[in-house]
Every structure is written in C-alpha cells, then in structure tokens.
Structure 1
C-alpha cells in the first residue's frame, strides 16, 4: 500500500506534476520538461536547414535523459506500493535531479536563470527535500 503521508512519496508526486509545468519560459512561449527533447530536435533541424553543409551542430539525443526524472519518481511510488524499500531509489532520483540542474545552470546557461520556468524550480526543490527526507534529516511528525 502506498503511504501518501511519507515525505519521499509526496516529493515524487510533486516531481511528476512539475515535469509537465513550464521548465523553459521565453516570455511569449514556454516548454515543459516533457517538451524539451522535441524542442531540441526542432532547433537542430532548423540549424541544419540554415548551415552551409546541411548538418546540425548539436545533438538532441542526450536531452531524452530528461525523461528519467518522472520515470524515477514513478519507480519510487511503485516500489512503495509494492512495500519494498525505496531509499536508494530516492537518493538516486534526488541526486540525479540536483546534479543535472547544477550542470545545466553552470555549463549550459552560464548562470543565467532568467529563462527557467516554475516547473524546474519546483522539481529541484522537491528533489532537495526528497534527498533530505531519504537521508533522515527531514521527517513528518504524525500523531496517528
């Protein structure tokens, strides 16, 4: 049975919902985490159309790794539903999300956070809370 009051499960649900919220906001248009690989494919094909040799300069295939974010969260909920230990999976999911965000922040955007949407911030915050809960630093007090 899935314990909905467990902090790791709450964070996993929040991460799944935040994956479909805007991650990249360009003012007039925004893209969710679900849309990012398709957006990169479009940009690469546009780049190839206007390049001299007809080839794109980048690869969008690495962006499909973003689908690990909701898949790991769904796996956490599934393991909890089966009654199995999910602490290692919570640590893996939280670490992957935070490290991935820091990599994008430092190397890809060079610290420019202006185009990051609410979805990515909620994902990172829920991932940090998940890490703290999985390591035992955060707990929910229940009086039942």
Structure 2
C-alpha cells in the first residue's frame, strides 16, 4: 500500500504557494501593478542597496535568463531600475525605484497579515514553532554516503 504522506519539500512548496497566492490576490485587490510569482520571489531576495542579476538568479535558484526576464518586466513596470555598480564598471545593480519601495512595503504589510491569519488557523504557537525551526541553523546539506 502506498503512503499518502507528502515529503517536506512538497509541503514547503504548498506553504510558499499559499503565501504567494494570498499576496498576489491582496496586491491585485489594492490596485498594485500585476506581478508574477517569479517577480515576487525576486523582490524578496533583492538587497536594499541593489543586487546583480547573477546574484538574484543564485538566490532564487533560477537561470540568469529567468532572473533577467523578471528584472526586465519589473523595470518596465517602473518598480525596479538598473544602476552602475560602484565596485565594478562591468556590472549593474538592480534596485527598487520609489514606487518599488512603496509596493515592497505594501507587500510586507500583507505578508504580516497573512502570517496572522495563519496563526488564527493553526495557532500562534504552531506558527512560532515553524518560524523557529526554519530560522535555526541547519548547516550544509549532508554529503552522500559511500
């Protein structure tokens, strides 16, 4: 008989989707510029002072091309801009525009509300325990055994 127990990566993916869908629906209801889940993820890993496309791709776990496409969509929407990197003449930093900062702040407020809604559904203790487990130092992934 097959087990119906789902593994942790599947559960993490479902939890991520729950937050992403709630965030995107709330942003749409507020009249914000429509963005994709990939663009939401890009915003989440972007440093305040700017980040290179290569670093964004690494943090997101996607190709540079995928990160570049997400950046270009957000630049076209007026939420991001490209600026010279003072540390390297060859690189450009991606950073939020004033409107991008406003939307980022709005998204943070929505995510806080979603977390509170989750706490109402599964309990504050469960959310706090989940947060503590995810914030704990897990170390590097184990190496395969010979």
TM-score between the two structures when normalised by the length of structure 1: 0.32
Q: Does 1 or 2 have the higher relative contact order (CA < 8 Å, sep 6+)?
A: 1
Higher strand fraction: Structure 1 or Structure 2? 2
TM-score between the two structures when normalised by the length of structure 2: 0.32
